[in-house]
């Protein structure tokens, strides 16, 4: 594929402008993070802010907890929504539309609304302050989107894939596993990154569901820099960077799947 | 299509039935008004005899001096009582108050928690029977000798939560707060102005500053609550202190539409619309605003004692603090009072140890530790005042106002919704979106509805 | 054979019950931890309740209270306005960017992709801090305007006529990388041969975009719209952390009302009523949007 010089130039200009727009608030954050803490007058950059934020925010423990929560939420939600999306995307059955809208409905519910009943009901079951209380509501939220997304992806696959599998004598599960999942790897990677990100940044659920702080995840550490009246912006920004770093790494690792993988899948067909 | 709808209706009604069968909200774990273990008179102050205890403390003292002071007090408490282990959970005040609302009704509550004294928080928990009445402990430990009556009034409610300012004791504060005027000495000097002795003087200096091209005052009000600390002291110039106390504590007998309040709000709105706080107080953040003041923007910063230590680190000797000039009745009156009090939830597992902890963190020694760490102790301010610096002026102002004048309550104490109503109203007055009368009418509606009940 | 085939759920599924078995695990988790709490919220909305202590059954009073509530009506209006920023503009920008990344021979594609997606990644608490610095009277935005000779000391989040749009721009900033990523996933499925064929036919980039790229990603467009419209209507964190609904009530949105009523005013019953109404509004709009997406697909 070739593109003309002029077009190339325009493309780069657009991309660079978009990138600058995306990045400049982040640079603001980075500059704030390296700026002086409240009451500090020496000129920066203050690299030790990151160390201070790490210690005061107790990120050693909370990042680990975040990782555990994400390790439960993302794979569980991915598997369950792939199974559900497979049914919605490739099978005909009674009530499929109603059930599908029932899942779609979950996307619409504001978390602020369900958090109160969820807390009381889980407390009645003695589940607050457990991994279940922090992770499962997030699995449910991720399933709502994941099912919706995977249904679209299964539908966009060429229908002859399933027919070919039938001719080869595959059962429904081996069709899913051997024939359909490989070309959907990029789509799975995309939704996996999104689920990871949402879980990682989730604030309200871990806060409310873990009153004694046993399952406080990393973003709650930001709260430790906010006093009743005053907050330390530099430490908060430094903490923000610490919290964001694992997602960036995750994204960098998975990003090669996004396009290259897709082309492979399409070419094999 | 029709069949689908049927199925949908079927599912919906099945779910609804399931829900109705479940218990109504508030029943499960809802604490009935309880008198707490204290009312039976069996309080003990002999902590060492209680065996191994884990004391859970939820606080919001996350920043600097207060955190340091509490850490060292916690350590000293555990040294004194080796059988007690403190489990401290700290978080921002917003997060803490939100969590308390849900957690206090359960069985798994902390032994000690910082509960905001406002009617919307402490008042409602008292009414629901979720906090221990501390009176028996106050007698056992002699807290009424240690604290002044005016300080304790801010943590007193009637046991039904209806009256605020009298009744039983439900919390114990550790720190003091006073709202006043920070100023830059060099800027005042450059303007050829003395410290204002009256509000008229103060207004004149502001005009002079404005004419000289200086920003007269600094306010960052994007968060909505900072304006309370500007309006509160100003109000005292137009309204008798007694009326402000009634309005602020949500007790009957005052009127937001009274002429004094109209004059105060008119002056406040004028400051906002005519640029006395710079171009856009509603579009400016609180923290950067006072940091900017530290770097040389503005002559006065109307704000609370809590920014003193941080500002002094930036400004050094140039920083000064004064209580606002005397109010309408010739007495000093300004917003202030206590830091967020420590309370004991009704279902706390170790109320006796919790009370001993409250006692321990408010002793004279504790006050000294707070002062040494650069904080602002609620008791003994006069004796503990440092020899120089802005904290000396803050301590003295607090001592003077609380002994000779009136520490006015924060206006958001008044009703459960007043923080919301007034936060919105102050912004609208500052931005000129609504007239002072319209804003005050909203205040009066809120207050009137509450005291009318 | 055809008759039998039609009754089967799919070519590889014989059993009528099999599709439900695939749905079951997801439905169980989803039903327990999301649907059931929603039903409970609906139940709470019929009570006057502070979130603790005793509750009084009040029937539909909480809903009746919303009918004449100006602030609630404004909140809904604000969230509809935010759709422009959260959804429509990011879709346009995302389409252009994804198309460039997909078909143009862009060096350093991964680099651009990562950086443009970055706004999604950072916790909103921190994002809010950064944007508040940008919008403050002495902030970056006014400085940039100054370079172009526009003298401004406006506090963009503090003026009633710009505050909501200013929040909207933050929403756009957060969403456009996500939209781009979703669309890229769809465009990646387009075989290179299609582009080559279009070019052999002499199509220019714009014609190629409409002939090849756009039709292939209708499903992803619908997904992106659904997702971003939901984000717009459900906006909470951003408003909570930038303006608290101010100045006055100029930027309040329904989710902020839910939170404010539940946790600040301690009116959990009324908050639940707002939540239920909000959920129904979002649901209606999105069923509509996703139907459009599917009808177009059927035409193809």
The alpha carbon of residue A195 is apart from the nearest alpha carbon of chain B, in Å, by 25
Q: What are A175-205's pLDDT values in tens digits?
A: 999 889 988 888 898 899 889 989 998 888 9
**CA of C122 vs chain A CAs: smallest distance (Å):** 5
Same domain, B296 and B211: yes
pLDDT number for residue A107 = 86
pLDDT at residue A261, rounded to an integer:
43
Q: C279 in a domain, yes or no?
A: yes
Question: Which domain range does residue B256 map to?
Answer: 179-336+409-451
pLDDT at B38: 44
- Residue A215 CA, chain-centre distance (Å), reads 18
How far apart are the CA of A35 and the nearest CA of chain C, in angstroms? 13
CATH number at residue B279: 3.40.190.10
Residue A29 located in a structural domain: no
Does one domain contain both B54 and B76? Answer: yes
Claim to verify: residue B125 and residue B264 sit in the same structural domain: no
CB-CB neighbors (< 8 A) of C125 in chain A: 203, 219, 222, 236, 240
Express each pLDDT in B334-347 by its tens digit: 999 899 999 999 99
Q: Which of C8, C34, C289 to mutate to test the interface with A (most CBs of A within 10 A)?
A: C34
Q: Quick one: B228 and B374 in the same domain?
A: no
The Cα B253–Cα B451 span in angstroms is 9
Q: Does residue B364 share a domain with residue B322? A: no
Count Cβ neighbours within 10 Å for each residue of B399-416 and write b for 16 or more, e otherwise.
Answer: bebbeebbbbbbbbbbbb
- Chain A segment 132-191 residues within 8 A of C by beta carbon are 136-137, 139-141, 143-145, 147-149, 152, 155-156, 162-163, 165-166, 170-172, 175, 186-187, 190
pLDDT attached to residue C145 = 94
Please state, as a whole number, how many other Cβ atoms lie within 10 Å of the Cβ of residue B274.
11
What pLDDT shows up at residue B169?
96
Distance from CA of A57 to the nearest CA of C (A): 14
**Would you say the ipTM is above 0.90?**
no
Q: What is the pLDDT of residues C263-279, one digit of tens each?
A: 888 899 999 999 999 99
Q: Is residue C48 part of a domain?
A: no
| Residue span of the structural domain in which C142 resides | 71-299
Question: Considering only A141-145, A165-169, A251-255, C127-131, which range has the smallest mean pLDDT?
Answer: A251-255
Q: Is residue A158 part of a domain?
A: yes
State whether residue C65 sits within 8 Å of chain B by CB.
no
- pLDDT-derived band of residue C246, with 50, 70 and 90 as boundaries? confident
B94 and A120 within 8 Å at the Cβ level: the answer is: no
More confident residue, B367 or C296: B367
| Residue A7 within a domain | no
Query: Are B110 and B259 found together in one domain?
Result: no
Share the mean pLDDT of chain C.
Answer: 88
A5 lies in a domain? Answer: no
Q: Flag residues of chain B having pLDDT under 50.
A: 1-6, 9-10, 12-21, 28-39
Task: Tell the residue number behind the tokens 């009634």, with chain if given.
Answer: B246
Determine the pLDDT at residue B31.
41
Domain membership of residue A146 as a residue range: 34-268
Contact B90 A39 (CB under 8 A): no
B89 in a structural domain: yes
Residue B153 contacts residue B165 (beta carbons within 8 Å): yes
Q: Is residue B96 part of a domain?
A: yes
Chain C residue whose CA is closest to A21 = C173
Total domain count, chain C: 1
Write out chain C residues lying below 8 Å of B423, CB-based.
244, 246
Nearest to C262 among A112, A155, A248 (CB): A112
Structural domain count, chain B: 2
- Average pLDDT estimate for A31-50: 82
Chain B: residue nearest C162 by CA? B283
pLDDT grade, residue C173 (50/70/90)? Answer: very high
**CATH number where A157 lies:** 1.10.3720.10
Mark whether B73 and B99 lie in a shared domain: yes
Cβ contacts of B231 within 8 Å, gap of 6 or more? B264, B265, B268, B411, B426
- Residue B391 counted as domain residue: no
A227:B340 CB<8 A = no
Residues of A with Cβ-Cβ distance to B60 under 8 angstroms: 227-228
In A30-84, where do the E strands start and end? none
DSSP one-letter code for B23: P
In a domain, B375, yes or no: yes
Q: What is the CATH number of the domain that holds C171?
A: 1.10.3720.10
Q: Which of A100, A103, A117, A120 to mutate to test binding with chain B, by most B CBs within 10 Å of its CB? A: A120
Span C40-59, pLDDT tens digits: 999 999 999 988 888 899 99
Facing A123 at nearest CB: one of B87, B106, B307: B106
C153 in a domain, yes or no? yes
Which residues face B56 on adjacent strands?
A: B87
C159 Cα to chain A: minimum distance (Å): 21
Q: Is C26 within the bounds of a domain?
A: no
Place of tokens 């906010």: A226
Flag whether A223 is in a domain: yes
Question: DSSP 3-state assignment of B408?
Answer: strand
Tally the domains of chain A. Answer: 1
Residue C31 domain flag: no
For residue A58, is it left (φ>0), alpha (ψ between -120 and 50) or beta? left
If you measure CA to CA, which chain A residue comes closest to C285? Answer: A108
Q: Do B112 and B22 belong to one domain?
A: yes
Q: Is the pLDDT of residue C168 over 90?
A: yes
Nearest-angstrom CA–CA distance, B288 and C236: 23
Q: Which of C107, C185, C295 best probes binding to A when mutated, by most A CB atoms within 10 angstroms? A: C185
pLDDT of residue A267: 36
Answer yes or no: is A18 within a domain: no
The DSSP-derived string for chain C is: -HHHHHHSSBTTB--SSHHHHHHHHHHHHHIIIIIHHHHHHHHHTTEE--SSS--EE-TTHHHHHHHT-HHHHHHHHHHHHHHIIIIIHHHHHHHHHHHHHHHS--TTHHHHHHHHHHHHHS-HHHHHHHHHHHHSTTSHHHHHHHHTT------TTTSTTTHHHHHHHHHHHHHHHHHHHHHHHHHTTS-HHHHHHHHHTT--HHHHIIIIIHHHTHHHHHHHHHHHHHHHHH--HHHHHHTTT-STTTT--HHHHHHIIIIIS--HHHHHHHHHHHHHHHHHHHHHHHHHHHHHHHH-
User: Does residue A15 form part of some domain?
Assistant: no
In C, residues 129-158, which contact B (CB 8 Å cutoff)? 132-133, 135-138, 153-158
């Amino acid at each position: 594929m070739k593109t003309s010089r002029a077009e190339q130039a325009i493309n780069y200009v657009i991309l660079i402008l978009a990138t600058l727009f995306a990045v400049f608030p982040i640079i603001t954050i980075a500059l704030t993070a390296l700026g002086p803490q409240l009451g500090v007058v020496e000129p920066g950059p203050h690299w030790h802010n990151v160390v201070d934020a790490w210690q005061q925010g107790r990120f050693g423990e909370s990042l680990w907890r975040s990782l555990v929560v994400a390790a439960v939420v993302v794979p569980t939600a991915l598997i369950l929504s792939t199974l559900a999306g497979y049914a919605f995307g490739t099978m005909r059955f009674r009530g499929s539309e109603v059930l599908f809208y029932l899942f779609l409905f979950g996307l619409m519910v504001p978390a602020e609304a369900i958090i109160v009943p969820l807390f009381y009901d889980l407390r009645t079951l003695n589940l607050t302050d457990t991994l279940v209380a922090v992770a499962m509501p997030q699995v449910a939220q991720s399933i709502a989107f994941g099912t919706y997304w995977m249904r679209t992806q299964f539908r966009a696959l060429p229908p002859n894939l399933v027919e070919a599998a039938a001719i080869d004598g595959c059962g429904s599960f081996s069709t899913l596993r051997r024939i359909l999942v490989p070309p959907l790897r990029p789509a799975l990677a995309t939704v996996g990154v999104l689920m990871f990100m949402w879980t990682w940044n989730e604030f309200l659920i871990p806060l409310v569901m873990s009153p004694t702080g046993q399952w406080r995840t990393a973003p709650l550490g930001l709260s430790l820099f906010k006093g009743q009246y005053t907050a330390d912006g530099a430490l908060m920004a430094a903490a923000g960077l610490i919290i964001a770093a694992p997602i960036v790494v995750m994204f960098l690792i998975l990003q090669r799947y996004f396009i290259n993988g897709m082309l492979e899948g399409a070419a094999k067909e | 299509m029709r069949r689908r709808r049927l199925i949908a209706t079927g599912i919906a009604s099945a779910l609804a039935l399931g829900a109705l069968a479940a218990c109504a909200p508030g029943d499960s774990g809802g604490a009935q008004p309880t008198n707490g273990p204290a009312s039976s008179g069996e309080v003990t102050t002999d902590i060492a005899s209680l065996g191994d205890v884990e004391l859970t403390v939820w606080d919001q003292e996350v920043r600097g001096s207060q955190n340091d002071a509490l850490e060292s007090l916690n350590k000293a408490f555990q040294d004194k009582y080796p059988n007690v282990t403190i489990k401290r959970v700290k978080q921002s005040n917003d997060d803490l108050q939100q969590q308390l609302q849900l957690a206090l009704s359960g069985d798994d509550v902390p032994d000690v928690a910082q509960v905001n004294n406002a009617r919307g928080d402490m008042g409602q928990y008292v009414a629901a029977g979720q906090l221990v009445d501390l009176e028996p402990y106050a007698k056992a430990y002699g807290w009424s000798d240690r604290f002044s009556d005016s300080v304790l009034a801010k943590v007193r409610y009637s046991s039904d939560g209806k009256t605020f300012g009298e009744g039983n004791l439900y919390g114990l504060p550790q720190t003091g707060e006073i709202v006043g005027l920070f100023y830059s000495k060099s800027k005042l000097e450059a303007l050829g102005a003395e410290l204002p002795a009256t509000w008229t003087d103060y207004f004149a200096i502001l005009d002079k500053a404005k004419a000289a091209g200086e920003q007269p005052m600094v306010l960052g009000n994007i968060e909505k609550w900072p304006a309370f600390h500007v309006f509160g002291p100003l109000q005292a110039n137009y309204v008798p202190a007694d009326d402000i106390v009634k309005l602020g504590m949500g007790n009957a007998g005052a009127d937001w539409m009274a002429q004094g309040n109209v004059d105060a709000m008119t002056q406040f709105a004028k400051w906002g619309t005519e640029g006395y706080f710079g171009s856009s107080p509603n579009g400016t953040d609180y923290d950067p605003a006072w940091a900017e003041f530290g770097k040389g923007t503005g002559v006065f910063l109307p704000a609370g004692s809590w920014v003193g230590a941080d500002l002094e680190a930036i400004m050094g000797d140039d920083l000064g603090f004064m209580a606002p000039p005397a109010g309408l009745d010739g007495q000093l009156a300004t917003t202030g009072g206590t830091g967020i009090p420590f309370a004991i939830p009704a279902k706390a597992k170790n109320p006796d140890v919790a009370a001993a902890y409250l006692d321990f963190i408010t002793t004279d020694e504790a006050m000294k530790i707070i002062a040494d760490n650069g904080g602002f102790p609620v008791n003994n301010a006069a004796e503990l005042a440092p020899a120089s610096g802005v904290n000396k002026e803050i301590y003295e102002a607090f001592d003077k106002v609380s002994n000779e004048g009136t520490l006015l309550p924060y206006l958001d104490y008044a009703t459960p919704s007043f923080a919301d109503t007034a936060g919105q109203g102050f912004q609208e007055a500052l931005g000129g979106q609504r007239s002072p009368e319209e804003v005050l009418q909203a205040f009066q509606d809120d207050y009137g509805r509450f005291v009318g009940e | 054979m055809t008759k039998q085939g039609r009754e089967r759920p799919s070519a590889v599924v014989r059993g009528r019950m099999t599709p439900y078995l695939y749905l079951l695990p997801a439905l169980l988790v989803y039903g327990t931890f999301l649907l059931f709490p929603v039903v409970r919220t609906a139940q709470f909305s019929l009570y006057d309740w502070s979130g603790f202590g005793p509750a009084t059954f009040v029937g539909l009073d909480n809903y009746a209270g919303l009918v004449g509530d100006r602030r609630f009506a404004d909140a809904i209006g604000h969230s509809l306005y935010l759709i422009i920023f959260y959804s429509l503009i990011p879709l346009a920008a995302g389409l252009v960017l994804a198309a460039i990344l997909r078909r143009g021979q862009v060096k350093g594609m991964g680099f651009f992709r990562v950086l443009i997606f970055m706004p999604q990644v950072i916790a909103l608490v921190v994002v809010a801090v950064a944007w508040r610095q940008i919008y403050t009277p002495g902030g970056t935005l006014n400085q940039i305007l100054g370079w172009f000779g526009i003298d401004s000391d406006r506090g963009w989040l503090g003026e009633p006529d710009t505050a909501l749009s200013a929040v909207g721009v933050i929403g756009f900033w957060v969403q456009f990388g996500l939209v781009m990523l979703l669309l890229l996933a769809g465009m990646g499925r387009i075989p290179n041969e299609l582009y080559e064929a279009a070019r052999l036919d002499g199509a220019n980039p714009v014609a190629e975009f409409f002939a090849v790229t756009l039709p292939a990603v209708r499903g992803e467009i619908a997904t992106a719209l659904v997702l971003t419209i939901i984000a717009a209507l459900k906006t909470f964190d951003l408003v909570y952390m930038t303006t608290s609904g101010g100045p006055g009530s100029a930027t309040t949105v329904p989710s902020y009302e839910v939170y404010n009523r539940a946790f600040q005013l301690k009116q959990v019953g009324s908050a639940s009523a707002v939540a239920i109404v909000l959920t129904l509004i979002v649901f209606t709009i999105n069923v509509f949007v996703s139907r459009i997406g599917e009808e177009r697909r059927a035409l193809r």
